[in-house]
Amino acid sequence: MSAPAENASSSRAEPGRRRTAARLAAVQALYQIEVSSASPANVVMEFLRHRLGHEGEGENFGAADQGLFAELVEGASARREELDRQIAAALTPDWPLERLEIILRAILRAGTYELLARPEVPVGVAISEYLDIAHAFFAGKEPGLVNGVLDRLARTLRPEGSREDNGGNGAASR
């Protein structure tokens, strides 16, 4: 492939990488909010000033979509009770939301928020992105839980798009 073709190809992929980085950062910010009880606005500001686009302490979010990052953190925080009700309803009785690890709750909250508030994002893309984030943190059954819960929620929250976007399986479509 020629250099101009490679540059054109990578520039088209860049927005996707920026959104992926924003989603990962949003999950980490939601985790920080829960463990520290810091305000969402303060955590968003900290990430924008000191983390996104900066390398440090083993973290490198690269060039994240700052608008998407802020929307996910602020939106998921503002609608936390609603998101938690939705997630709890999709969980089995033997695994209530409170029993899940904090980072797993953060992944599910961000994913559920996207399903609820960002209809322009295809269901399969949303599920796949948060499944990838779950794989970054967990090697066990947790990614399967994320896939199952988000797929179940997608069928309820976005029934018109859940099957056509991902064939009923969030992991199948990217």
The amino acid occupying position 167 is G
Complete domains list, the chain, with CATH: 1-78 (no CATH), 80-174 (1.10.940.10)
CA-CA-CA-CA torsion sign (121, 126, 132, 138): positive
Give 91-137 pLDDT, tens digit per residue: 988 889 999 999 999 999 999 999 999 999 999 999 999 999 999 99
pTM: 0.83
How buried is residue 80: exposed, middle or buried, by Cβ count under 10 Å (0-12/13-18/19+)? middle
